[in-house]
Structure 1
Amino acid sequence: MSPVRTTKEPGEIFGPRMTLFADVLSVGIAVAVVSLPLVTLPAALSTACAVLRGVREGRPVTAGRFLVALRRRLRFGDLVAGLVALVGAALALVDLALAGAGLPGGRAFALLAAAIGAGAVVVGLRACGRPESVEDWPAAVRGAGRDAVRDAGGSGLVVLAVVTAVLCVWMLLPLVFLVPGLLALALTAVDVRGRV
């Protein structure tokens, strides 16, 4: 592991501490653009987490490195993961719409559906943050499911990261292009925190 630089180099405006932040924002823009088809969202988020994890080994975080890594790994399994995520989101929206239509027991069902959906989102996002997601989605999901139960604090951090991302986009819509990088950084930090 290479030492982390703490001094500014000649001509550098902000210094090394702002470099990671700027790189996360550039990766966030790349993730947002690549995720426009929606089916590619899990692969893009997982690749961003893998690129950000490379900081610990001294590898630079750049949008170019992200795009090269994504091009190498985008395969059928990644598209299936994206399709499963889309179908799950659509089912959750349909269930909540039906529950709000005045059916008997609709409120209780809506609460149950929201809790199940939140759990699925936490497991899915934690799976994106795991290194195994680059090669093996089923193993990443199994590991994320175990982590979601064993590490409730990490799961809470994932929920807070998602809530913060949603609030940022709600307050200022153009942030939708920057938030994916910050979310990937949060997911990577939660995963690294759980492995230390």
Structure 2
Amino acid sequence: MRTTREPGEIFGPRMTLFADVLSIGLATAVASLPLLTAPAALSTACAILRGTREDRPATAGRYFRLLRQRLRTGDLAAGLAAVTGVLLLLADLALARTGLPGGGAFAAVAAAIGACAAVTGLRACGRPESLTDWPAAVGAAARRSVQDLGGSALVLLALVTAALCAWMLPPLAFLAPGPLAMALTAIDVRGHQHRRAKRRTLPTRSG
């Protein structure tokens, strides 16, 4: 991504990127309204924002063009799995509040499982593989979730922050997907850079 201001440009590239993130967030919220399209919508947002590192435009028009090109049965299946998982989690938590023996422990376990699943799913949306192969993206995200606990904590923090913003100011719910997608993309890029740097510093074997 360029870091200098072009002649005649009123705002710098960072302000332009901030505006792009908000517009992508709004487009993602609209594309997620059918619910089954939510994973594909968030994955597309991450792909568009990742392209800013190569100075590719992050516009709502480009976002919807890419989303139309990629929507397929696998994307809808991923959406169905995500919606089913959320409904099951809500049902389990509601059941735990009915006063059944061990309900508190059951709720804690269900919440922990839900958090792990959410982190894995969100990290999968942030991976480039999600554009063409959801199983590969989920598998790679599951491995990275365990190997990179710091990144997983950041993903969970980003999700909680987006949810709190939407809860406190409902209009922000239509913009929250943008910063969330930016966080997921940054965490994935950070992981790739960290692994490359680690490989460069590994000592070479002689003999």
TM-score with structure 2 setting the length: 0.91
Structure 2: how far apart are the matches of 1:143 and 1:76?
Answer: 21
Q: 1:13 aligns with which of 10, 14, 26?
A: 10
Structure 2: how far apart are the matches of 1:5 and 1:141?
Answer: 33
Match of 2:204 in 1: none
Match runs of 1:115-154 below 5 Å: 115-154=112-151
Once the two structures are superposed, residues 111-167 of structure 1 have per-residue CA deviations (whole angstroms, 9 ceiling, x without a partner) of: 000000000000000000000000000000000000000000000100110111011
**Counterpart residue identity of residue 11, structure 2:** F
Any gaps of 5 or more consecutive residues in structure 2?
A: 194-207
Match of 1:70 in 2: 67
Structure 2: how far apart are the matches of 1:16 and 1:107?
Answer: 49
Q: Is the 8 A contact 2:36 2:83 kept in 1?
A: yes
Structure 2: how far apart are the matches of 1:17 and 1:95?
Answer: 43
Q: Is the 8 A contact 2:5 2:11 kept in 1?
A: no
Q: Is the 8 A contact 1:29 1:177 kept in 2?
A: yes
Structure 1: how far apart are the matches of 2:180 and 2:123?
Answer: 11
Match of 2:91 in 1: 94
**Counterpart residue identity of residue 20, structure 1:** L
Structure 2: how far apart are the matches of 1:150 and 1:176?
Answer: 31
Match runs of 1:36-75 below 5 Å: 36-75=33-72
Match of 2:197 in 1: none
Structure 1: how far apart are the matches of 2:95 and 2:7?
Answer: 59
Structure 1: how far apart are the matches of 2:3 and 2:153?
Answer: 32
Could you tell me the percent identity over the aligned residues?
Answer: 68
**Counterpart residue identity of residue 51, structure 2:** G
Structure 2: how far apart are the matches of 1:13 and 1:116?
Answer: 47
Q: 1:4 aligns with which of 2, 5, 14?
A: 2
Match of 1:33 in 2: 30
| Runs of 4+ more than 6 Å apart | none
Give, in angstroms, the shift of residue 184 of structure 1: 0.3
Structure 1: how far apart are the matches of 2:75 and 2:13?
Answer: 34
* 2:76 equivalent to 1:79: yes
Structure 1: how far apart are the matches of 2:12 and 2:121?
Answer: 35
**Counterpart residue identity of residue 9, structure 1:** P
Match of 2:111 in 1: 114
Q: Is the 8 A contact 1:40 1:82 kept in 2?
A: yes
**Counterpart residue identity of residue 76, structure 1:** T
TM-score with structure 1 setting the length: 0.96
